[in-house]
Amino acid sequence: MSADGKITDHLHSPARFGSSQDKAHLERQIAQQDGVLFGGGTLRAYHTSLSVRTPALIEQRQAENRPPQPIQMVCSRRADFNPDWRFFQQPFPRWLLTPPEKARFWQQSPHFERVLAIESWHWPAILSQLYDFGLHKLAILGGGELVAQLLEAGCVDELWLTVCPLILGGKTAPTPVDGEGFLATHAPQLELLTVQQGGQEVFLHFRAKKNHPVGKQSE
Ligand SMILES: NC(=O)c1ccc[n+]([C@@H]2O[C@H](COP(=O)([O-])OP(=O)(O)OC[C@H]3O[C@@H](n4cnc5c(N)ncnc54)[C@H](OP(=O)(O)O)[C@@H]3O)[C@@H](O)[C@H]2O)c1
């Protein structure tokens, strides 16, 4: 995110302001996962996703008897994706989480290896289903709407934030956590684990505290 807490500009452009060091940091995180999950808005912004490319990271996964790439999962109600996007040519397995009516369409196409028809978006139940498919470690790559839902559902264990040296401003620019917002009295609480400076950026690592009542602005 920018120094003023935005994950992209007010035009919702694909966010590419992180340094090569930040990209390598993200790649290392991705390499540790069984799967990565992101919202339809993020896929529409980038048309692509980050695969594990560093040979040492791929070798490490294989030495642990894991597939070379984590599964790339997109969740979307609209599922209005263009199969010409580079995402659909990238060398990783793709899964889609979408309501049944959209699932029927994509199940008949070769673009996703697995299409999960989700009747009700109850995240603990969905994550439990993914766990049964072997996805024990999952990273949420954004955007803010999806991260807000998972935080509200108490499904986030750790949070990584990179603070980058620019200011984006604007009332409508997305932040790491959007949604309706939490009241300060019912906000998810974090414990700071590490702070590292790398070049002009700061890498923050938090653990989410459990057993804290989380509530929406409207409650
Ligand atoms: N700086 C960074 O590290 C970073 C990382 C990621 C994204 N971004 C930026 O964030 C922006 C996108 O963020 P965003 O908040 O608009 O989008 P987002 O969270 O990626 O996606 C929101 C979309 O996800 C789908 N979705 C969310 N919850 C769902 C649910 N419960 N069931 C089904 N589908 C669900 C819906 O997709 P449909 O609309 O397809 O139905 C919804 O519109 C982009 O501009 C991107 O550049 C920045």
190, part of any domain: yes
Q: Is the CB of 215 under 6 A from ligand 1?
A: no
Tell how far the Cα of 32 is from the centroid of ligand 1, in angstroms: 22
Q: Is the CB of 144 under 6 A from ligand 1?
A: yes
CA angle centred on 141, ends 140 and 142, rounded to 5°: 95
pLDDT tens string 92-112: 999 999 999 999 999 999 999
Q: Which atom of ligand 1 is nearest to the CA of 12?
A: 45
33, part of any domain: yes
116, part of any domain: yes
38, part of any domain: yes
Could you tell me if 155 and 128 are in contact, meaning their C-beta atoms sit under 8 angstroms apart? Answer: no
Please tell me the distance from the alpha carbon of residue 195 to that of residue 58, in angstroms, as a whole number.
Answer: 27
Could you tell me if 174 and 2 are in contact, meaning their C-beta atoms sit under 8 angstroms apart? Answer: no
> Is the torsion defined by CA of 7, 9, 10, 11 positive or negative?
negative
Could you tell me if 155 and 125 are in contact, meaning their C-beta atoms sit under 8 angstroms apart? Answer: no
Token digits of residue 90: 């990238």
Tell how far the Cα of 76 is from the centroid of ligand 1, in angstroms: 8
Q: Is the CB of 76 under 6 A from ligand 1?
A: yes
156, part of any domain: yes
Please tell me the distance from the alpha carbon of residue 12 to that of residue 52, in angstroms, as a whole number.
Answer: 25
Helix (H, G, I), strand (E, B) or coil at 42: helix
Q: Is the CB of 178 under 6 A from ligand 1?
A: yes
> Is the torsion defined by CA of 7, 10, 154, 186 positive or negative?
positive
Q: Is the CB of 188 under 6 A from ligand 1?
A: no
Tell me the β-bridge partners of 72: 36, 94
Q: Which atom of ligand 1 is nearest to the CA of 178?
A: 15
- Which residue out of 77, 85, 164 has the highest number of ligand 1 atoms within 8 Å of its CB and is therefore the one to mutate? 77
Helix (H, G, I), strand (E, B) or coil at 65: coil
Q: Is the CB of 17 under 6 A from ligand 1?
A: no
11, part of any domain: no
pLDDT tens across the length of the chain (219 residues): 999 999 999 999 999 999 999 999 999 999 999 999 999 999 999 999 999 999 999 999 999 999 999 999 999 999 999 999 999 999 999 999 999 999 999 999 999 999 999 999 999 999 999 999 999 999 999 999 999 999 999 999 999 999 999 999 999 999 999 999 999 999 999 999 999 999 999 999 999 998 666 665 444
| CATH assignment of the domain containing 164 | 3.40.430.10
Q: Is the CB of 38 under 6 A from ligand 1?
A: yes
Q: How many domains does the chain have?
A: 1
Question: How far from the centroid of its chain's Cα atoms is residue 113's Cα?
Answer: 19
Tell me the residue range of the domain where 171 lies: 20-208
pLDDT tens string 51-74: 999 999 999 999 999 999 999 999
Q: Which residues of 34-67 are buried (b: 16+ CB within 10 A; e: fewer)?
A: bbbbbbbbbbbbbeebbbbeeeebbeebeeeebe
